[in-house]
Structure 1
Amino acid sequence: MIGRLSGIILEKEPPLILLEVQGVGYEIRLPMTCFCQLPNLGQEVIIFTQLIVRNDSQLLYGFNNKQQHTIFRELIKINSIGPNLALGILSGMSIYEFFNAVEKEEIINLIKLPGMGKKTAKRLVVEMKDRFKNLHDKLFNKYRNTLLIDKPAKVSNIDVKTEAILALITLGYKPQEASRLVNNIAKIGMDCKTLICNALRSTL
């Protein structure tokens, strides 16, 4: 099992990165809350990973810290929540926001996440409430929700918007909804990461 990788970021295309570790390139999928905190290309980063093996593929999911990794592993244990939906949940909310949504049974906020229906959201709240009782101290005693955004890059605003829309579609949003979310908050000078993160937060 691959649980942790330390290497150089070669490519970044939301929600994927290509991480070089001793000459080997690992393609890793990250929730956007993690992607937005990554350093620039060519810099070193430590990623906590979860390998998902399927009949036709092996997919590697990555996280910036153990808290996010732990929540992902708990989410995929729930019936009807696969790794892609779990990735969408962690892309749309920080783990602190997710914890509060579960504790306060905020179903209306959970169903705003891509691929999350009302029935699944209710099951999620019931099952995660019990698990959070044991995980709370481990997850939140020293955890502070911090979002680090790189300085805006000088690139075409049209290209940035297109890239952001494609990233949201990859996370499970329908093309029309992804386009609406991005266009509603897009401003000249925004880089792709800022645009995606602000679009996701606008759904809460």
Structure 2
Amino acid sequence: MIAHLRGTLVQKQPTSVIIDVQGVGYEVTIPLSTYYELGEVGSTVSLLIYTYVREDALQLYGFGTPIEKEIFVRLISVAGVGPKLAITILSGLSVDQLIPAIRTNDLARLTAIPGVGRKTAERLIVELRDKL
């Protein structure tokens, strides 16, 4: 499993980056918060990586901070929340906004995130309230 990448930022988009690590380019999906923290193309970057493996795909998800990665892992542990939705959630709310929203049962704030309906928001609250 890939847990960390450090290399040259080759391409930067709001939802993904390509990092060149000694001649190998890794495409990494990132939340918006990580996008804003990264330097310019050509700079050296370091990302914590969550490697998602399915029988038909291998996808890398990158994070600028350990807490972002930890929250991502907790989000995908919730029934009905896959990696793509977890990235969308982390792009819609910062960790500092997401944790209080879950702890205080703020359904309105959670359902304002694209792709998060009432049932998903309720599951997030029930399953994560005591874990965050």
- Return the offset for 1:130: 1.5
SS of 2:7 mapped into structure 1: strand
Greater share of strand residues, 1 or 2?
Answer: 2
Q: Distance in 1 between matches of 2:57 and 2:81?
A: 18
The answer (yes or no) to whether the contact 1:33–1:92 under 8 Å persists in 2 is: no
- Once the two structures are superposed, residues 132-185 of structure 1 have per-residue CA deviations (whole angstroms, 9 ceiling, x without a partner) of 1xxxxxxxxxxxxxxxxxxxxxxxxxxxxxxxxxxxxxxxxxxxxxxxxxxxxx
Counterparts of 1:17-32 in structure 2, within 5 Å, are 17-32=17-32
Name stretches of at least 5 consecutive residues in structure 1 with no aligned partner.
133-204
After TM superposition, the runs of 4+ consecutive aligned structure 1 residues lying more than 2 A away are: none
- Return the offset for 1:92: 0.7
Q: Distance in 2 between matches of 1:23 and 1:124?
A: 40
Counterparts of 1:60-71 in structure 2, within 5 Å, are 60-71=60-71
- Once the two structures are superposed, residues 73-124 of structure 1 have per-residue CA deviations (whole angstroms, 9 ceiling, x without a partner) of 1110110000000000000111010011011110011001111010110110
**Structure 1 counterpart of 2:13:** 13
Q: Distance in 2 between matches of 1:22 and 1:47?
A: 15
- Return the offset for 1:39: 0.2
Structure with bigger gyration radius:
1
Q: Distance in 2 between matches of 1:14 and 1:43?
A: 16
Aligned CA RMSD, in angstroms, stands at 0.8
The answer (yes or no) to whether the contact 1:5–1:21 under 8 Å persists in 2 is: yes
Q: Distance in 2 between matches of 1:87 and 1:44?
A: 23
Q: Distance in 2 between matches of 1:43 and 1:127?
A: 39
TM-score, with structure 1 as normaliser: 0.63
Q: Distance in 2 between matches of 1:2 and 1:105?
A: 35
Percent identity among equivalent residues? Answer: 38
**Structure 1 counterpart of 2:2:** 2
Q: Distance in 1 between matches of 2:90 and 2:4?
A: 19
- Return the offset for 1:29: 0.4
Counterparts of 1:25-174 in structure 2, within 5 Å, are 25-132=25-132
